[in-house]
A and B are shown apart, each in its own frame.
Chain A
Amino acid sequence: MLSSIFGSLFTTRFLATVIRLSTPILFAAVASFIAASTGMVNIAIESIMTFGALAGILGSYLTGNAWAGLLIGLVVGILTALLIALFSMRLGASPILIGIALNTFADSLAIFFLYQIAGEKGTSASLPTKTLPVVNIPGIQNIPVLGQLLSGQYVLTYICWIVLILLFIMIYKTPLGMRMRACGLNANAARTAGINVEKLQIFSLVLSGMFAALGGMYLSLNYLRIFSKGMVAGQGWMGIAANGIANGNYGVLLLSALIFSAFRAVSIVFSSSTIFPVDLVAAIPYFAVFCFVTIASIIRYYRVKAGKVEEQ
């Protein structure tokens, strides 16, 4: 019995589940990462995902086109990010407090708009909505194992992979990325060197809002084809935790996000087993986050102590 459960963890289907579950967490992770790269703090990712998910669905309903819905969702994500920039950079509020405020009212505000347009408070089921497709790549889809993993994914999953690559190139291979990282390391030094720090910080927040909105829209426009109350369900926080572990290291960021997704998939496989208490199983992904953040902190502590990295 036990072996059959653990056996099901090493199958192609399990890996495909991890890929499907990883997309929103990866988007959330890069959203948190890009904001942090210029020294900004965006903890409102959960709420931007909710807004993006809803705006995407409502946009798709109102325009009759899923891609137009995607654009509208992106705009809403950018606007929310600009709101954070306005309050934290111009009006001097703490970005943490703005994040808490946004996260607190996101669900209710989303329901408010949903009710105005759909007349329902739980889901967007009453709206006939166009959604984004699943992409089958001819050629690749016939390869035994790889085909199942690389083909037949949701279109936003592919967009996520492209974003991950482009982001890597931008941050590590272009002068723009170097300047952004300079802002994050020491804003004053960057300013002395003639870099427009505020402009780059706003730019990073805008990107952060876009990525978070894409994560939300993956859930509503692509994966589940509906907006459902509370559907983001902590995935934004997992992305933030992944960034906390990465501490500026892009590879660690992606790895942590994938590990969290894998643990989410594990909790799904175990949720129908009789062996473990189900409440414990539901807590697996969050417990994993806790453990990995703790381990990362301990490693960082000893590296600082050994003088390998500077204290931040």
Chain B
Amino acid sequence: MKKLFASVLAVMTAASMVACSGGSEEPTGGDEPEKEGFKVAVLLPFTGDQSYFDTLAIAAREVDAADNGISVEIFECDPSGAADESNWMNWFDNVCEDGAYDLVVSGNNTYEGFLYKAAEKYPDQKFYNFDYSALPETGVPANLYAANWALDDLGYVVGALSAAMTKTGTVGVVVGMDNQAMNQFIGGYVQVLAEKGVKYCVSYPGSFTDTAKGNEVTEDMIAKGADVIWQVAGGLGNGVIEACSKHDDVWCIGVDQDQYLQFKDTNPDWANTILTSALKNTGVAFKAVCEMLADGTLDSKLGTAEAWGIALNGVGLAENDFYLENCPEEVRAEIADTLAKVTAGEVEVIDTLEMKDYDAEWPPVLNANRVD
């Protein structure tokens, strides 16, 4: 028994050492000869949550595989999402210290604070923040280019689509958490529904993982009459899709990546309830930034922040075959019209991210159509 125990312990110790060293050795690139060209480091908290982290990681692998002189390495720095400062600064030190990378990429409202600290600490290193929400008070650091997503516009378009598709006159949205970054999704959404006189439910389950809650929240909305439900809730959104898939006359709208394509082959039940997805094309922007890095134009962008909207294909709807098949032509024409209007700036879309005090500045008139 003791021997068995000892050998089990030995194996576990060895395994944990392999696991640890796997992470910390990666930045040096192992024994591979130094690759000519540009090197990009992407620091993500984790991948595999079906969010825009995944979209970015997929684009990063594509850029790396393409024959363009750019190599990309992805580091998963925070699998538990603990947002621990010492851990993150350690990762930034690892990739920035010896200047091995031409560009260091990171972002998201939970983790961007560490990125700004690193940008201050390493003034000669170029940084790209792929999703900013609160820039430092001193302005954008001179060695950093920040992008964010015109989620207000995206919400407006999704709202317009929901309003056009609903048969019951009630739609719904499930938002993972009630915070300013997440509410940027629903400002425009609610605005367009108020314009069109469509009733809506908004639910904040307060989690991104509690799939069961996502399911029940959606059942609750469906019972209140909602028949087009948008999920903005990461893993919890799987529960939303599951609930929608059980009702024949209810559509679900996905988020971040094309969720119809994601489930099409393996889970047709789910795919066939996802009318379209509200895309946040972090990959498109990442590829563009890599190109700018390669041809030297990125330097002129450093120190600036830019919103990637519909015009730049930063956000949009997934126009896959299923969408073309199930969305009537006149609705699609109307959405194309809305997209054009928003792009041209003809519509003043409410951007909750610009509000200092969300609760105070939220126009109460928009709550008139909300179903409790």
One digit per residue, 1 when the CB lies within 8 angstroms of any chain A CB and 0 when it does not, for chain B 225-252 equals: 0000000000100110010000000000
Which of B50, B203, B216: most chain A CB closer than 10 A? B216
Q: Give, as a whole number of angstroms, the nearest-CB distance from A55 to chain B.
A: 17
A306 at the interface (CB under 8 A from B): no
Binds A, one of B82-90, B260-268, B335-343: B260-268
Q: Check B235–A229 contact: CB distance below 8 A.
A: yes
Given A123-B50, A223-B212, A282-B205, decide whether A231 and B372 contact each other with a Cβ distance below 8 A. no
Say whether B221 faces chain A, with CB atoms less than 8 Å apart: yes
A44 to chain B, nearest CB (A): 17
Decide yes or no whether B204 CB sits under 8 A from chain A. Answer: yes
What is the CB-to-nearest-CB distance from A151 to chain B, in angstroms, rounded to a whole number? 16
**Which residues of B have CB within 8 Å of A107?**
80
Q: How far is the CA of A123 from the CA of B266 in the complex (A)?
A: 12
Among listed A26-34, A114-122, A167-175, interface-contacting one:
A114-122
Among B49, B204, B223, which residue has its beta carbon within 8 angstroms of that of A278?
Answer: B204
Contact assessment for A122 and B235 in the assembled complex, using a CB-CB cutoff below 8 Å: yes
B207 touches A233 (CB 8 A): yes
From B221, which residue of chain A is reached at the shortest CB distance? A272
Interface string of B37-60 (1 = CB under 8 A from A): 000000000111110001000000
With an 8 A cutoff between CB atoms, is B215 at the interface? Answer: yes
Q: Please report the C-alpha to C-alpha distance between residue A13 and residue B223 in the assembled complex, in whole angstroms.
A: 9
Q: A271-B205, A273-B372 are in contact. Are A121 and B212 (CB under 8 A)?
A: no
Is residue A230 contacting chain B, with contact meaning CB distance below 8 A? yes
How far apart are the CA atoms of A243 and B13 in the complex, in Å? 35
Verify A224–B235 contact, CB threshold 8 A. no
Q: Which residue of A lies closest to B215 (CB)?
A: A224
Q: Is A282's CB under 8 angstroms from B206's CB?
A: yes
Q: Given the complex, which residues of A lie within 8 Å of B205, measured CB to CB?
A: 268, 271, 282
Pairwise interchain contact B209-A108, C-beta atoms closer than 8 A: no
Q: How far is the CA of A226 from the CA of B352 in the complex (A)?
A: 34
**A231–B237 CA distance with the chains assembled, in angstroms:** 11
On whether A274 and B370 interact (CB within 8 A), knowing A121-B47, A224-B238, A231-B212, the answer reads: yes
Whether B211 lies near A219 (C-beta < 8 A) is yes
Chain B nearest CB: distance from A256 CB in Å?
19
Type the 1/0 row for A227-270, where 1 means its CB is closer than 8 Å to any CB of B: 01111011100000000000000000000000000001100110
The CA of A231 and the CA of B239, in the complex, are separated in Å by 10
Asked if A1 and B372 sit within 8 Å, CB to CB, the answer is: yes
**Alpha-carbon distance between A272 and B210 when the two chains are bound, in angstroms:** 16
When C-beta atoms are compared, the residue in chain A nearest to B54 turns out to be A122
B220 contacts the other chain (CB 8 A): yes
Given A224-B239, A272-B201, A274-B372, A279:B48 Cβ within 8 A? no
| B266 touching A125, Cβ below 8 Å | yes
B60 to chain A minimum Cβ distance, whole angstroms, is 15
Option from A20, A122, A265 in Cβ contact (under 8 Å) with B48: A122
Tell me the complex Cα distance, A63–B220, Å: 35
Q: In the complex, A91 Cα to B235 Cα: how many Å?
A: 39
Question: CB distance A17 to B216 under 8 Å?
Answer: yes
For A18, give the chain B residue with the smallest CB separation. B216
Could you say which residues of chain A place their CB within 8 Å of the CB of B110?
A: none
**From B4, which residue of chain A is reached at the shortest CB distance?**
A86
Contact A268 B216 (CB under 8 A): yes
Take A125-B266, A279-B206 as given contacts and tell me if A229 and B219 are in contact as well, using a CB distance cutoff of 8 Å: no
In the docked arrangement, what's the CA distance between A17 and B370, Å? 23
Residues in chain A near residue B22, CB distance under 8 A: none
6 closest cross-chain pairs (CB), A and B: A121-B48, A282-B206, A230-B209, A272-B203, A233-B210, A278-B204
Q: Which residue numbers of B lie inside 8 Å of A, CB to CB? A: 1, 5, 46-50, 54, 79-80, 172, 178, 201-207, 209-213, 215-217, 219-221, 223, 235, 238-239, 242, 262-263, 265-267, 269-270, 367, 370-372
Q: Name 6 extra pairs, CB < 8 A, besides A123-B235, A271-B213, A272-B172.
A: A125-B267, A125-B270, A272-B201, A272-B217, A272-B371, A279-B178
Chain A positions near chain B (C-beta within 8 angstroms): 1, 4-5, 13, 17, 20-21, 24, 90-91, 107-108, 111, 115, 120-123, 125-128, 219, 223-226, 228-231, 233-235, 264-265, 268-269, 271-275, 278-279, 281-283
